[in-house]
Amino acid sequence: MTPRRRRRAPPEVPPGGVLDWGDSSHWDHKRELPCRYCNFPTHLRDSRRSPAHKVCAEEALARQVAEAADTYQNGQL
């Protein structure tokens, strides 16, 4: 008989989000570019230096976490 594996609970997202936007590297003083999520211009850059509003990036990340948790809970890994 094989041993049972215990499933861990999915990680909780902190209320303030998971990205640290306080670092000045998230701001481009030179030019605005279209946000990768909503296409409105922004000076903000995400952790990969792609143009993204804070709200847009946090919402996209929250969706990814929810999808991963749903997949995990449904045993589709």
> Could you read off the pLDDT of 24-72 as tens digits, one per residue?
888 999 999 999 999 999 999 988 899 999 999 988 988 888 888 888 8
Provide CB contacts within 8 A for 40, sequence distance 6+. Answer: 34, 53
CA distance 13 to 71: 16
pLDDT above 90: residue 10: no
**For residues 7-44, b (16+ Cβ closer than 10 Å) or e, as one string?**
eeeeeeeeeeeeeeeeeeebeeeeeebebbbeeeebeb
Q: What is the extent of the structural domain holding 41?
A: 24-73
Question: Domain for residue 12, yes or no?
Answer: no
pTM of the model: 0.67
Question: Domain for residue 69, yes or no?
Answer: yes
CA distance 26 to 23: 6
Question: Domain for residue 4, yes or no?
Answer: no
